[in-house]
Amino acid sequence: MPDKSLCGAVALVTGASSGIGAATARRLAAEGAVVAMVAGPRDRLDRVADDISGMGGHGVAVAADVTDPGDAERAVQDTLDRFGRLDVLVNNAGIMLLGTALHTTIEEWDRMVSLNVSALLHVTHAAIPYLIDAASTAPRQVADIVNVSSTAGRFARPGCSVYNFTKFGLQGFTESLRQELLTEGVRVGVVEPGTMDTQLVNHLGDTTHQAARRQDSGIESLYAEDVAEAIRYIVTRERRVAVNEMLVRAGDQTW
């Protein structure tokens, strides 16, 4: 067995400019995968690519707004044009904008649905034919889709209604897609991180940001690298093993 389990594989990671996405790109590159990193801000993507290059891996930046279906398709096609295949898709791009229905704007709701749901659908739809092809031609004889959800896909809490909506929906989509692609050699799984040391809360307004931090007070949060390691574990199993769901909570988290 090769020293690096993803040698020869090509991975595409969305939301890869920071946080879980950047950590996942680094981790998959360390396993030998070539990683296409997709996000809006090109400068931050380039920094992650430089990190990967510095450790002897290969990562390329693909600047794209995956909420636009044409841009999402272009990001997938750019990966295919560069590397000729696609073995692993990690749908990580997302945003959390908390607040009650009374005090949240419809623009914030639309923004969450656009990035957490529509963008994931756009990229997945564009990638599926190439993942199926990779599963039939790769030495591993399998390809992988991993969707990054949240404990918010399992447990509803006040102030999270639309965020919960996007993540509960992601859980159902992932399970149905898993069943659809079983015979195609494409495994589909979901990772559900708990309390994170993440930039997600930086998108919140001051009052909501403070409330979120109070809620997490006393909890030693997960790092992005913890979730990246869970994703690495899922996509490096031998073909006979499918890890379809992984709940990763902070050790002190009660919900």
Contact 4, 43 (CB under 8 A): no
Residue 3 lies in a domain: no
Q: What is the pLDDT of residue 254?
A: 82
For all residues of the chain together, what is the average pLDDT?
92
Cα 37 versus chain centre, distance: 11
Crossing angle between the packed helical segments 69-83 and 119-137, to the nearest 10 degrees: 20
Q: What is the pLDDT of residue 204?
A: 47
126: helix, strand or coil: helix
Q: What is the pLDDT of residue 199?
A: 53
Number of H helices, E strands in the chain: 8, 7
Distance CA 191, CA 24 (A): 12
Residue 237 lies in a domain: yes
Q: What is the pLDDT of residue 202?
A: 46
Which stretches of the chain drop beneath a pLDDT of 50?
A: 1-2, 201-204, 206-211, 214
Residue 255 lies in a domain: no
The DSSP symbol for 222 reads B
Distance CA 198, CA 213 (A): 11
Distance CA 237, CA 46 (A): 29
Distance CA 10, CA 41 (A): 22
Which residues span the domain enclosing 193? Answer: 10-247
Where residue 19 sits, what CATH number does that domain have? 3.40.50.720
Residue 2 lies in a domain: no
Residue 254 lies in a domain: no
Distance CA 80, CA 97 (A): 33
Q: Which token pair is 96?
A: 């959390």
Residue 130 lies in a domain: yes
Q: What is the pLDDT of residue 131?
A: 98
Long-range pairs for 206-215: beta carbons < 8 A, 24 or more residues apart:
208/98, 208/99, 208/159, 211/98, 211/159, 212/98
Structural domain total, the chain: 1
The residues annotated with a catalytic role in the active site are: 163
Residue 5 lies in a domain: no
Residue 28 lies in a domain: yes
